[in-house]
Structure 1
Amino acid sequence: MPSARPILIVEDDHALRQALAEQFSEEGLYQSFEAATLKEAAQYLNAADARFDSIILDINMPDGDGRDFCAQMRRQGHRMPIIMLTGNANEEDIVQGLNSGANDYIAKPFRASELLARVNAQLRAFDTSEDAVFTIGPYTFRPSAKLLLTADRKQRIRLTTKEVAILKFLYRTNGEIVSRQVLLNEVWGYNAGVTTHTLETHIYRLRQKIEADPNNCKLLLTAPGGYRLNAAPVEEPAAVPAGATW
């Protein structure tokens, strides 16, 4: 099962913020973080280990306008889907929100199930877009470009379609062990002609590309019955693996 995706809820109404956090967490698909002010939200986003897959952002915050904050996040390079909340539903307000960089807009009052559906839809689109970016160890992972990049962008590792699918699925499990059969079914589908040997061959080749020492793996780990991905960010880039391209 895919891991819970981190989502930041920026809303000054405590009751609403808490209700949304509980709703998203109950689904099991999201891990909710709460910010009552734009300052708190900025602290979350500026943290060294920050990773949010989506943001729910109220426009009328006590320390500023959510639209200005949204525009600032886009200028800083944040590309995750942003869903804006507002008590106003007039056309001009909606246009201003979308022009600030929001992906979608929902007026209060609203059903939590509708907001959840909109977030799910935005994330489905985002995951296949050019903007989707994930951190795996010392690398920035861009699935749509089939690339792993180091922070200084000097090291570019090109991936195959299957290698991208393997990394994406393992990333979503948040470090949990995935059995060989589950990973095989996820990447190749229920194809009777494909065996675990095929998966093991792809894992071997992927390790040659991404591991500084394929004999002492730090990222793509063998675990009882399968594999797991250690995607925790590291400060220093790994030594250049044999499969790296420039």
Structure 2
Amino acid sequence: MSDPRPLLIVEDDAALRATLAEQLAVDGEFQPAEAGTIAEARALLTASDARQDAVLLDIGLPDGDGREFCAELRRGGIRVPIIMLTGADGEADVVRGLDSGANDYIAKPFRINELIARIRAQLRVFDNSEDAVFVIGPYTFRPAAKLLQDMGRNRRIRLTEKECAILKFLYRAGGKPVGRQILLNEVWGYNAAVTTHTLETHIYRLRQKIEPDPASAALLVTEGGGYRLDPQAGRVAA
């Protein structure tokens, strides 16, 4: 199982916010952060080390309208899924919410299992969209395009589907080592005909493409009976 996916809950009702955070974190699938105002949410989403894979956004917030904040985030280049949570469920409200850039709109009260299913659905779509972009070392990684791009050196690296899947899964592990068998199952499925040698061959070829010195890997490291991705390695300090 991959590491919990960071998710921001923007809701001024402290009790509801805490309940949502607790329920979303139960199975370890999500790692919720909380904000009670637009100002708090803006600070969390625009920090230099910010990483939120999705946002649950209330409309009625103490310091503004969630729909206007959603539009602001989209103008600022934030493309992660945004799901509106609100008691205003009239057709005009839904249309206005979606027109502001929200991916989905859920009226209160809602069932937690339905909310989780909708979050998962939006994340699946996003992870395979052209908007999904990850930074790995000196590279910008666009899984949908199967492309790593090093802007500093004006270099583009084409990846295979399996190489993309390996990088995505290791990135989601948040810098922790992933065992060979786990990675093999996640990328190839539970296929008895595929052995760890297949994975090792792909890792070798991937290192030849992305490592400055493939013989001394810094980005894609062998560790703990498996592999670990260090997204910070090789970055040029600002």
TM-score, with normalisation over the residues of structure 2? 0.93
Change beyond 3 A, Cα 1:26–1:190: closer
Between the aligned residues of both structures, percent identity stands at: 65
Deviates more, 1:169-178 or 1:158-167: 169-178
Distance in 1 separating the partners of 2:80 and 2:19: 22
Which residue of 2 is the match for residue 17 of structure 1?
17
Shift in Å at residue 37 of structure 1? 0.8
Shift in Å at residue 212 of structure 1? 2.1
Change beyond 3 A, Cα 1:149–1:98: same
Contact 1:135–1:233 (Cα < 8 Å) also in 2: no
Alpha-carbon RMSD across the aligned residues, in angstroms, is 1.8
The unaligned stretches of length 5 or more in structure 1 are 238-246
Which residue of 2 is the match for residue 196 of structure 1?
196
Map of 1:223-234 to 2, 5 A cutoff?
223-232=223-232
Deviates more, 1:164-173 or 1:208-217: 208-217
Shift in Å at residue 163 of structure 1? 0.5
Contact 2:6–2:33 (Cα < 8 Å) also in 1: yes
Distance in 2 separating the partners of 1:152 and 1:93: 45
Which residue of 2 is the match for residue 75 of structure 1?
75
Aligned residue for 1:227, secondary structure, equals strand
Map of 1:37-48 to 2, 5 A cutoff?
37-48=37-48
Shift in Å at residue 229 of structure 1? 1.2
Change beyond 3 A, Cα 1:190–1:18: closer
Contact 1:7–1:30 (Cα < 8 Å) also in 2: yes
Distance in 1 separating the partners of 2:172 and 2:85: 27
Which residue of 2 is the match for residue 214 of structure 1?
214
Distance in 2 separating the partners of 1:69 and 1:155: 36
Distance in 2 separating the partners of 1:20 and 1:233: 35
Aligned residue for 1:215, secondary structure, equals helix
Distance in 2 separating the partners of 1:192 and 1:120: 28
Per-residue CA deviations over 1:191-218 (Å, capped at 9, x if unaligned) read 3443322221211111121122222222
Deviates more, 1:208-217 or 1:57-66: 208-217
Distance in 1 separating the partners of 2:179 and 2:171: 14
Distance in 2 separating the partners of 1:9 and 1:138: 31
TM-score, with normalisation over the residues of structure 1? 0.90
Per-residue CA deviations over 1:12-48 (Å, capped at 9, x if unaligned) read 1111111111111112111111111111111111111
Which residue of 2 is the match for residue 241 of structure 1?
none
Change beyond 3 A, Cα 1:103–1:153: farther
Q: Does 1:123 align with 2:145?
A: no
Greater length-normalized contact order (CA 8 Å, ≥ 6 residues apart) = 1
Which residue of 2 is the match for residue 5 of structure 1?
5
Aligned residue for 2:216, secondary structure, equals coil
Map of 1:107-186 to 2, 5 A cutoff?
107-150=107-150, 154-186=154-186
The unaligned stretches of length 5 or more in structure 2 are none
Distance in 1 separating the partners of 2:35 and 2:57: 9
Distance in 2 separating the partners of 1:163 and 1:84: 34
Distance in 2 separating the partners of 1:217 and 1:101: 41
Distance in 2 separating the partners of 1:56 and 1:186: 28
One-letter amino acid matched to 1:182: I
Contact 2:178–2:224 (Cα < 8 Å) also in 1: no
Shift in Å at residue 151 of structure 1? 5.4
Change beyond 3 A, Cα 1:181–1:137: same
Residues paired across the two proteins, number: 237
Shift in Å at residue 233 of structure 1? 7.5
